[in-house]
């Protein structure tokens, strides 16, 4: 074991294989014990300062979550919301929820996750909505999530929107997307500093923003019908990828390999863009998916 580089909240801090590790050589006070999360690794405890939960149907919010984790350092883990049971999360210091904005709101899957989050699990929570712009229209996107968190007495630190490429109806031009990606990295740097310093940073919300968020609450209902419109055209190879990937488990492979779409759709576009042979399409609202598909990786090649 190398020499400890620091004495930190009752633990000796070491760097082993480029990772910060902590060992405890005396019993911790109640305050210290509360500060540490017990992730036991080879008899060492690793302190998890930040837990990032991402809900990212088509990859943008996941990119933001990964970049934020890089910026916050190796005391951070990123978990996909759709595979995480909120009621079974470990106690921690700071929870960051990074979610795609749908119809000026957090998707209903995100709201349900926050509803299931036990009281007192984290000291602080931050919210990052990932939309396609940072105009006033998205300012109120976190409204319902904030309300649930406030009812559970959670302290909200950062509540911000980051703009990333649009993932439905149309693609932004490449120069707009490049500018968005550059700005997103700058935003992440600032958000990361605010989270580390526990700087409360959210702006006042204009009345008109609350109105569009209110109207947007109709979208979760409409999106269920979008799901009923979806079908797999001739050419489906029955690979099952869409069934595995749907965040709502809304797709089933029924008899003779036929693909069936149910009534739980959130209109997230994932199945449409992930299908390797591009055969998933709505019967009527054909203008909603981007015809050439969407993948964030296409825009990150030069980054
Ligand atoms: C059904 C639907 C509704 C959307 N509504 C909004 C919106 O209200 N505001 C916005 O800025 N972007 C909206 N978008 C765009 C995406 O939220 C945005 O491009 C986001 O970066 C996608 O994140 P993801 O790739 O992690 O899913 C919407 C996208 C979809 C599919
Ligand atoms: S991903 Fe496409 S090819 Fe694969 S089962 Fe679904 S519809 Fe068929
Ligand atoms: S059916 Fe497709 S669009 Fe609907 S929630 Fe599932 S993956 Fe998303």
CATH of the domain at 151: 3.40.50.360
Q: Is residue 120 part of a domain?
A: yes
Note the pLDDT tens digit of each residue in 285-298. Answer: 999 999 999 999 99
Distance 61 CA to ligand 2 centre (A): 24
Residue nearest to atom 6 of ligand 3 (CA): 246
Buried-exposed string 188-207: b where 16+ CB fall within 10 A, e elsewhere: beebbebbeeeeebbeebee
Range of the domain at 18: 6-46
Q: Is the pLDDT of residue 19 over 60?
A: no
Q: Is 198 a pocket residue for ligand 1 (Cβ < 6 Å)? A: no
Say if residue 54 is in the same domain as residue 192. yes
Which mutation among 131, 160, 219 tests ligand 1's pocket best, with the greatest number of atoms within 8 A of CB? 131
| Shared-domain flag, residues 60 and 137 | yes
Query: What is the pairing mode between strands 19-23 and 11-16?
Result: antiparallel
Q: How far is the CA of 193 from the centre of ligand 1 (A)?
A: 26
Q: Residue 68: its pLDDT value, please? A: 96
Distance of CA 135 to the CA centre of its chain: 20
Cα distance between residue 94 and residue 113, in whole Å: 16
Q: Is 22 helix (H, G, I), strand (E, B) or coil?
A: strand
Q: Which pLDDT band holds residue 284 (cuts at 50, 70, 90)? A: very high
- The residue to mutate among 271, 274, 288, 290, having the most atoms of ligand 3 within 8 angstroms of its beta carbon, is 271
Strand 44-46 vs strand 230-232: parallel, antiparallel, or unpaired? unpaired
pLDDT score, position 6: 62
Report the C-alpha gap between 133 and 100 in whole angstroms. 12
Task: Tell me if 246 CB under 6 Å of ligand 3.
Answer: yes
- Same-domain pairing of 71 and 133: yes
Identify whether residues 242 and 202 lie together within a single domain: no
Atom of ligand 1 nearest to the CA of 168: 31
CA distances 264 to 17, 83, 228, 252, Å, are 45, 17, 9, 12
CA of 156 to the centre of ligand 1 (A): 23
225-282 pLDDT per residue, tens: 999 999 999 999 999 999 999 999 999 998 777 899 999 999 999 999 999 999 999 9
Q: Are residues 168 and 263 in the same domain?
A: no
Is residue 58 within 6 Å of ligand 1 at its C-beta? yes
The atom of ligand 2 lying closest to the CA of 245 is: 1
C-beta of 233 in contact with ligand 2 (< 6 A)? no
pTM recorded for the entire structure: 0.86
CA–CA distances in Å: residue 209 to residues 100, 139, 215: 17, 6, 10
Residue 164 in contact with ligand 1 by CB distance below 6 A:
yes
* Banded pLDDT at 1 (limits 50, 70, 90): very low
Confidence of residue 42 (pLDDT cuts 50, 70, 90): very low
Task: Provide the pLDDT for residue 204.
Answer: 78
Give the chain's domain count.
3
Cβ-Cβ contacts under 8 Å for 156 (sequence gap 6 or more): 124, 125, 126, 127, 146, 149, 150, 200, 202
In a domain, 1, yes or no: no
* Domain end residue (candidates: 216, 251, 279): 216
Give 284 Cα–ligand 1 centroid separation in angstroms: 20
Quickly tell me which residue has 């294989």 as its tokens.
17
Q: Considering every ligand atom shown, identify the ligand nearest to the alpha carbon of residue 107 and give its number.
A: 1
**Final residue of a structural domain among 216, 244, 277:** 216
Q: Does pLDDT of 174 surpass 80?
A: yes
Q: Is 231 touching ligand 2 by the criterion CB < 6 Å?
A: no
**In terms of domains, do 66 and 187 share one?**
yes
Q: What is the DSSP letter of 102?
A: B
pLDDT digits (tens, 9 = 90+) for 87-119: 988 888 899 999 999 999 999 999 999 999 999
d(CA 4, CA 22): 9
Return the ligand number nearest the Cα of 275. Answer: 2
């Amino acid at each position: 074991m190398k020499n400890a580089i620091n004495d930190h909240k009752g633990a000796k801090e070491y760097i082993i294989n480029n990772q910060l590790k902590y060992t405890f050589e005396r019993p911790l006070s109640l305050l210290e014990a509360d500060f540490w999360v017990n992730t036991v690794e080879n008899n060492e405890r690793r302190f998890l300062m930040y837990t990032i939960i991402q809900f990212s149907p088509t990859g943008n919010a996941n990119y933001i979550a990964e970049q934020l984790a890089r910026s916050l350092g190796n005391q951070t883990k990123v978990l996909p919301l759709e595979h995480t049971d909120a009621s079974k999360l470990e106690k921690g210091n700071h929870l960051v929820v990074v979610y795609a904005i749908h119809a000026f709101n957090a998707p209903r899957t995100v709201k349900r996750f926050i509803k299931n989050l036990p009281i007192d699990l984290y000291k602080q929570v931050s919210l990052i909505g990932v939309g396609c712009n940072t105009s006033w229209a998205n300012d109120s996107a976190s409204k319902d999530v904030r309300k649930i968190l406030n009812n559970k007495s959670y302290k909200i630190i950062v509540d911000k929107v980051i703009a990333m490429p649009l993932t439905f109806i149309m693609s932004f031009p490449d120069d707009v997307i490049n500018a968005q990606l550059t700005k997103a990295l700058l935003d992440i740097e600032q958000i990361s500093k605010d989270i580390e310093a526990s700087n409360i940073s959210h702006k006042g919300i204009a009345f008109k923003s609350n109105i569009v968020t209110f109207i947007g609450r109709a979208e979760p209902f409409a999106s269920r019908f979008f799901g009923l419109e979806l079908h797999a055209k001739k050419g489906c190879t029955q690979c099952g990828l869409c069934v595995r990937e749907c965040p709502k488990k809304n797709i089933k492979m029924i008899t003779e390999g036929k693909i069936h779409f149910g009534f739980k759709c959130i209109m997230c576009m994932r199945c449409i863009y992930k299908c390797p042979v591009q055969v998933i399409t709505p019967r009527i609202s054909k203008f909603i998916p981007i015809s050439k598909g969407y993948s964030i990786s296409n825009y990150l090649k030069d980054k």
